[in-house]
Structure 1
Amino acid sequence: MSDWRESLPEARGKLLLDEPLGPYTWFRVGGAADVLFIPADAEDLADVLKALDPGVPVTVLGVGSNVIVRDGGVEGVVIRLAGRAWAQVATGGDMITAGAGALDAMVAKASARAGIAGLEFYAGIPGTIGGALTMNAGCYGSETKDVLVSAWGLNRRGDRVDYALADFGYTYRHSEAPADIIWIEATYRGALDAPEAVQTRIDEITARREQTQPIREKTGGSTFKNPPGHSSWKLVDEAGWRGKLFAVTGGGAKFSELHSNFMINPGEATAADIEGLGEAVRQDVLAKTGVRLDWEIRRMGRAS
């Protein structure tokens, strides 16, 4: 055990050493965290961040739906905001407040019950509010920036930071907010509408997603951002990568036959297989079309 792990701060939540992270991700691959911290609440998280050696890397892992954890595991402390304390959703008038650990789909459902329109698109995003804030998550023509009012979080020192929408500097799948902020809560504003009408739109999004995306596979959601003027799935498909198995160290990964911007782990893939497939496709598409594909999936940790 390294020196820094021998003097970990006390916490009310869980501090787990050498915890495998694969089970926490949708791809079901990847190595262990040096330390996995599941804080009890925001105060517990702030206290640990303030007491933790500032030289220790800190990484946030949400629900693991849009991430590749590399096979060598993740250095430092990995923070996972899991449990009821992090997933509270409250509504009032045309406003919704949601914890960073709340599933996007649950926030969409809460908006329907409250008769608040504008957040239906969250039903099509398999992540949490914390991830949505970090990357301006969106789908089907809507983005987080369209409904967000403000959010607050903690920086690496454990200090509270408050952000209004304009402070994020949002662009397509990108935020200018510092990467070390751990988001705690977000506030949204929608438009009042009949609950039945909001729910109908959510049902339509859900049905569309089930028909067009491999949601029951071990996948990571959209692999690449759409380049200006192009659709990533078309570029991947036209380059011949739909359904083509690619292996580096394990049983191999492939792009889904159903949606060619979704990588899947058919069974025994390693993180190296999945990331290697993505890089191979990026290089091939660039060589064939001159278009550069940028990752939407987050990659973290040591390669081996």
Structure 2
Amino acid sequence: MQLGSDNLSLINTDMDITRMQHRAPAIDVSRSRGKLRQHESMARHVSWRAGGQAAYFYQPADLEDLKTFLQLWPQTEPIVMIGLGSNLLVRDGGFPGAIVSLHAKLNDLLLVEQDEYGGVVYAGAGISCAKLARFAASQHLTGAEFLAGIPGTVGGALAMNAGCYGSETWQWVERVQLIDRNGMLHERTPENYHIAYRQVELRAAALSETPDNWFVGGWFRFHAGQQESARQAIKTLLSSRIKAQPLNFPSAGSVFRNPPGDYAARLIEQCGLKGFRIGDAVVSTLHANFINNCGQATATEIETIIDTIQTTVYQKTGINLIKEVRIIGQHAGKNHE
């Protein structure tokens, strides 16, 4: 079913037409070109393959369409932007707003500058980190290889300063492109941010100008290098990842940040929590900082394990593990209508 346009569809499989129209946001759908779904299961869109529904789920056609959507969407409705959903858990009670998926939509990937010392690559927020790593290698650039080990998109990597194998996203950032709640585009340099381990925050001066904003792309400066050596480094990294991480079941990767001078996985294992299970949610026996969905795990089961790990590790070691994953939405049984 479509509301007034062949371009923006509002799709629902479990509500009658009258109720759906009552819940539909008051926007001029003819101005948008993306797909708007209602009551969309987020288990389809997060790497844990678990969780509740989004009241609305939007897939923009491109950046211009995202601008239009944000200009039209009611200011009172909450919005969350996602990529591959590799760092996200939506509680079983659902998210009472719009979740906007940028994956494979904001997908520009361009070499915009190159000289004997290196080059600058622009990558849209919807590009996978692995694709950016491979593209940089194909352009005889080095430094991006670590990105192949990050199971997410450029937008997510920018938002949390994702990293692995000794490198972090923001050490390669020249500037970023953002979009605010009104659909306006902005550019920022790293100097506008407080950047730390798995943490990216706008400094106060910049925050006052654009309080609600999301990354839609970034310019990355990499070093000049040999194409084949960069490709080989990517292969080696991926081989190491396969051996060290439990990739045979759905997960969100590392659940907790590493505390200073230690490793979350070591602390979790030390506390005897490897293999700890609630329902189909299980702490991996290969890498204790992973929680696997070994069947039909619910978001509640996964979050309960997360809470149990935090409580147990703190009680036994005095260390408060900080979540690397983001948990949104309402607990089961709560109505988000």
Partner SS for 2:265: helix
What does residue 40 of structure 1 align with? Answer: 61
Taking structure 1 as the reference length, the TM-score comes to 0.95
What does residue 71 of structure 1 align with? Answer: 92
What does residue 325 of structure 2 align with? Answer: 297
Which of 293, 307, 332 is equivalent to 1:265?
A: 293
Judge conservation of contact 1:220–1:297 (CA < 8 Å) in 2: yes
User: Do residues 214 (structure 1) and 234 (structure 2) align?
Assistant: no
What does residue 237 of structure 2 align with? Answer: 205
Looking at structure 2, the residues matched to 118 and 81 of structure 1 have their Cα atoms a distance apart, in angstroms, of 25
Judge conservation of contact 1:9–1:52 (CA < 8 Å) in 2: no
Give 1:22 deviation, angstroms: 0.6
Looking at structure 1, the residues matched to 74 and 25 of structure 2 have their Cα atoms a distance apart, in angstroms, of 12
Give 1:4 deviation, angstroms: 5.8
What does residue 7 of structure 1 align with? Answer: 26
> What whole-Å deviation, never above 9, does each CA across 1:20-71 have from its counterpart, x for those lacking one?
1111111111111111010111111111211221111011121011111111
Taking only aligned residues, the RMSD between alpha carbons, in angstroms, comes to 1.4
What is the letter of the counterpart of residue 54 of structure 2?
A
Aligned residue runs from structure 1 range 104-253, under 5 A: 104-177=129-202, 180-246=212-278, 251-253=279-281
Judge conservation of contact 2:83–2:156 (CA < 8 Å) in 1: yes
- Structure 2 stretches lacking a partner, 5+ long: 1-18, 333-337
What is the letter of the counterpart of residue 184 of structure 2?
D
What is the letter of the counterpart of residue 87 of structure 1?
N
What does residue 89 of structure 1 align with? Answer: 109
Give 1:9 deviation, angstroms: 3.9
Question: Between Structure 1 and Structure 2, whose CA radius of gyration is higher?
Answer: 2
Looking at structure 2, the residues matched to 281 and 41 of structure 1 have their Cα atoms a distance apart, in angstroms, of 40
What does residue 76 of structure 2 align with? Answer: 55
Taking structure 2 as the reference length, the TM-score comes to 0.86
> What whole-Å deviation, never above 9, does each CA across 1:134-184 have from its counterpart, x for those lacking one?
000101110011101111121112111211122122111001136732221
User: Do residues 284 (structure 1) and 330 (structure 2) align?
Assistant: no
Give 1:82 deviation, angstroms: 3.1
Partner SS for 1:170: strand
Looking at structure 2, the residues matched to 171 and 134 of structure 1 have their Cα atoms a distance apart, in angstroms, of 11
Judge conservation of contact 2:103–2:153 (CA < 8 Å) in 1: no
Give 1:216 deviation, angstroms: 2.7
> What whole-Å deviation, never above 9, does each CA across 1:239-283 have from its counterpart, x for those lacking one?
01111212xxxx331111111101101102100000110110100
